[in-house]
Amino acid sequence: MSDLSKGAAHVYGEIVPVSEAKISILDWGFLHSDATYDVVHVWDGNYFRLDDHLNRFYAGMSELRMSIPYSREELQQILSSCVKASGLRHAYVEMITTRGLPVPGSRDPRSCTNQFFAFAIPFVWIAPLQTGLDLVVSRKQRIAAESVDPRVKNYHWLDLVMGQYEAYDRGAQTAALVDRVGNIKEGPGFNIFAVKNSIITTPDKGVLRGITRKSVIELARTAGYTVLEKELSPAAARKADELFATSTAGGVMPISSIDGQIVGNGQIGPVTQRLKDAYWSLHEDPKYTTQIIY
């Protein structure tokens, strides 16, 4: 029997080990990066904010003129079948819709049959739990929102990947990309927040509206902090008392340095710590969780 403990995938209607999951090399999701996706995490056997992720996924498909033959309830069952087959209690669960294959010889996307895939893999932390991220402000520009709407999750990551290489060349772990006038946008898979005098700022335009970002904004405002969704310049980020990133892959993650300059005292700041603790506490609140019956 195939080992599903390292992950299970739903491919063309079958559950297979994630290592054996394959799609057609001719699918436009591969050839053209013509796809949308979403990732929800499972913590201690419960989805976190599943409805928010499903809402964004269906909205992304609508924006890209894609569709799948599954209702929300059926989609949830497919995702859960991957989790249950793997037995994972802490996992990332990804759902993907690709453009599919066109009629042979056609370049008309309307002739494509959209395809749906899903998989569950073990949860891993994308940032150091204690020391935080060393970040640089990249010279690379994020793909303009006028070209590719960043609110629709997509695989157009070459700008992010090259920004990451720039970070490595400069002795850092990761990068924040900028827009054409130099304002900070986002990093590879995460949103960015700056704290100054207990006022929290996060970029609004030209970024993915992350579900973790949403959670943190809600938590911060409930705690009495002022949260400004507006442009964040590199200069303002360098002067911040605290910087942190948010992502499904790790939650609230402190940024310990920016462009080689230590942020605060180089440790997780009090506002970041408070929001991090509050974020993980939400994982015990039935309002935000959906149980998986294994």
Does one domain contain both 111 and 200? no
Residue 254 near residue 128 (C-beta atoms within 8 A): no
> Is residue 250 located within the same domain as residue 174?
yes
1: in domain: no
Please tell me the distance from the alpha carbon of residue 33 to that of residue 30, in angstroms, as a whole number.
5
294 part of a folded domain: no
In this structure, is residue 290 part of a structural domain? no
Residues 6+ apart with CB under 8 A from 169: none
Q: Residue 125 has what pLDDT?
A: 85
Give me the CATH number covering residue 173. Answer: 3.20.10.10
Bridge partners of 259, per DSSP, are: none
The pLDDT tens digits of the residues spanning 165-192 come to: 999 999 999 999 999 999 999 999 999 9
CATH of the domain at 45: 3.30.470.10
What pLDDT score does 129 carry?
A: 62
62-121 residue pLDDT tens: 999 999 999 999 999 999 999 999 999 999 999 999 999 999 999 999 999 999 999 999
pLDDT interval class at 130 (50, 70, 90)? low
86 and 138 share one domain: no
Q: Are residues 246 and 150 in the same domain?
A: yes
Task: Tell me, yes or no, whether 108 and 166 share the same domain.
Answer: no
Assess contact for 208 and 191: CB atoms under 8 A: yes
Residues 263 and 213 reside in one and the same domain: yes
Q: Is residue 108 part of a domain?
A: yes
pLDDT in tens, 204-260: 999 999 999 999 999 999 999 999 999 999 999 999 999 999 999 989 999 999 999
State whether 169 and 226 are in the same domain.
Answer: yes
Same domain, 140 and 268: yes
Structure-derived torsion over alpha carbons of residues 236, 240, 245, 246, reported in degrees to the nearest 10: -90
Q: Which tokens in the block code for residue 149? A: 């709407």
* Inside any domain, residue 70: yes
- Looking at the chain, list the stretches that DSSP marks H as alpha helix, in order from N- to C-terminal side: 28-31, 50-63, 72-86, 158-169, 211-222, 234-238, 270-281
Last residue in a domain, options 122, 143, 176: 122
Answer yes or no: do 18 and 92 share one domain: yes
Residue 2 in any domain: the answer is no
Domain that residue 98 falls in: 8-122
In a domain, 3, yes or no: no
pLDDT band at residue 1 under the 50/70/90 scheme: very low
Order of strands across the sheet that contains 289-291? 14-17, 8-11, 113-122, 91-101, 35-43, 46-48, 289-291
Q: Are residues 72 and 170 in the same domain?
A: no
Structural domain count of the chain = 2
Q: Please state whether the predicted TM-score (pTM) of the whole model is above 0.85.
A: yes
Q: What is the pLDDT of residues 14-59, one digit of tens each?
A: 999 999 999 999 999 999 999 999 999 999 999 999 999 999 999 9
85 in any annotated domain: yes
- In terms of domains, do 274 and 143 share one? yes
Residues 278 and 147 in one domain: yes
